[in-house]
Amino acid sequence: MARELFEQSEAARALLTQANDILGFSLTDIMFAGTEADLRRTDVTQPAVFVHSVAQFVARPEVQPTMVAGHSLGEFSALVAAGVLAFADALPLVARRAQAMQAACEEQPGTMAAILGLADEVVERICQEISAAGDVVVAANYNCPGQLVISGSLAGVNKACEALKAAGAKRALPLPVGGAFHSPLMQSAQAALAAAIEKTTFLPAHCPVYQNVDAAPHRAPAEIKANLLAQLTAPVRWTQSIQAMARDGATTFLECGPGKVLQGLVKKIEPSATAGSV
């Protein structure tokens, strides 16, 4: 993971080396040669994805965005790209977020599942019915039309998957994640992250940041901080964010980060847009 970037880009190499110094352990050793189990640990996964994403961005200085957005954790790298956070300030925040989320997962075990081929309204209604009966499950990631991720307690997600398949979902796929992200079960992580956010310098954004919580553009540090904190327990409104960016003039979307998942989602949300990778 990111080895090619490290070898080919001086700017990326400096950033990855800096990341090791900030974290106090060799993240690059795990990224380059760690096992899948090592990389799946929340406290490693989140810093690794964040560092990889920003490294891709700094390796291409000619790419200057006119607006940015990030999916869940990706919102932090979007904030670095928009000049809101310095990398050296953002990485400790990401690490603290990962630790807080890991602790929340251990306190209240949960999981997530991808629901394919069902209208958002149907998924929302069934989740509300199951939650009202006592098992927590909510809509967590609005990824693209026909693909919504649910999150909650193990019992809540299992019951929802059965009910959603009965309601006509093409598939209900359990996800290999460590907990119930973007659900009320992450509430205990908010206090830990709030303290870290308050100690961190946030600057006005160079360009609009379309945030997960409301899919709206923001530049003011106070708004960005509040939305970043709310994101832990609120759904990721990715479909709505891409639609809003397209309405505001975006025609080309470039993904910074490992993989091509977001490019695929953009093409499903806005088929007329161009989507690629840096």
Starting at the edge strand found earlier in the chain, the sheet holding 147-153 runs: 137-144, 147-153, 110-116, 171-174
From the list 52, 182, 183, 241, the catalytic residue is 182
From the list 53, 72, 131, 183, the catalytic residue is 72
Cα separation, 61 vs 16, whole angstroms: 16
Helix pair 221-230, 187-198: axis angle to 10 deg: 160
**What phi, psi does 12 have (nearest 5°)?**
-65, -40
CB-hemisphere CA count at 13 Å for 102?
14
Contacts of 15 (CB under 8 A, 6+ apart): 51, 54, 55, 58, 87
Residue 152: beta bridge partners?
111, 137
Cα separation, 216 vs 218, whole angstroms: 7
218 catalytic? Reply is no
Of 73, 169, 69, 76, nearest to 127 by C-alpha is 169
188 catalytic? Reply is no
- Active centre residues (catalytic): 72, 182
